[in-house]
Structure 1
Amino acid sequence: MQRNDTGKSSLLRERLIYQYVTALDEGDLESLTPVLEAAIDDPELEQAIADINIAYQEEEHLTFTTTDAELVRQLLRKHLSSAFEEQISNTTPLTTSDVAHSLKDDPKVLSIDKPALERLQKISVTLPTTLGLPSLKQLAKDIEIEASDRFWQLFRQKAIFMRMGRSHEKAKNQTQLAAAREAVAKRNAKKKHKPNS
């Protein structure tokens, strides 16, 4: 009987992993939510999601250090300051405060973790590039905030969700900008080729 239950949970986990990968590929943030919620109580699913995220980061060459990111930002400010200033609001790094504020009314936050959540709302520390549990636990240690493992899982999932949302919004804005530029280019091309009457 237990073997049958294990088989069912394994099959369910595989379906959730498929749903997660499909949602990532399609940019469907709403479909990610049930998978991330299921991962709270399923360590194997959580690990699979972490592995998938790492694979996506490596595939997209997103595995860089915070030092590398800061160096790139400094170079952009120095050499392309006007272009960089336009995008500041879209590239603001995600902070502990951002995530904590979004969890403020979440019923999944246990009452024993409310004091930690309140402290995090007041601390604006940039989140690590890699949002694995070890990174977040190190951050928690560095800023001296104690909370349950469940809380850090919720925090991590919310942070991933928010980061993906920001990436999706940035891509959407870039697509709209590209479409506007293309429309202007077509309009200018029509004006050049329009015969004088």
Structure 2
Amino acid sequence: MTPSDRRLWLDLQTARYLDALERFDFDRQDELWALAAADPELEAAFHSLHVGLEEADAEATADALAAAVEKHLPSAEIVRPAAGPVTVSMVAEELFRHTPDRLSADAHALNDRLRQSADELPAELGLPTLTAWAEARFGPAPAEYWQAFRQAAIKTRMRARADEEFQIAARNTRRKPEGG
């Protein structure tokens, strides 16, 4: 059997297994698992299929739950792990949801504009550095706004890092075979 024939055979058996799963054909599933018991590559393919199905199921469940929360609890905040760097829009959204009372109407107008910005936050979040960077990009604003923006930026960045660490900690790992 050539490598391409072998790959085709593995794909065919995996497709048969997926079909048996979808039809709840437990006898066929047992037959295919018996075949996989003697073939480590086939067993790995079946396990890989299950991982993919679990990820798809988890994503669908999360989407359905988020839709229900958005519909029935409109004041609730749905926190989704950020993919990629923390952006100005993420910080402005945080500030929009948790606005300090002392912000002026001009500060609120600027924050609405910043909610559309895809610019990445600078690495340095010291108030003078952040203020200089932000005013060069977005124009001047009251000092109180940049202080509130900085606090929201720190909170958003900390949440993003915590989400990253959680994702790393929660990731599935393959078990090493005993004795290996």
Q: Please report the TM-score for the alignment, with normalisation by the length of structure 1.
A: 0.44
Choose between structure 1 and 2: higher helix proportion.
1
Structure label with greater radius of gyration: 2
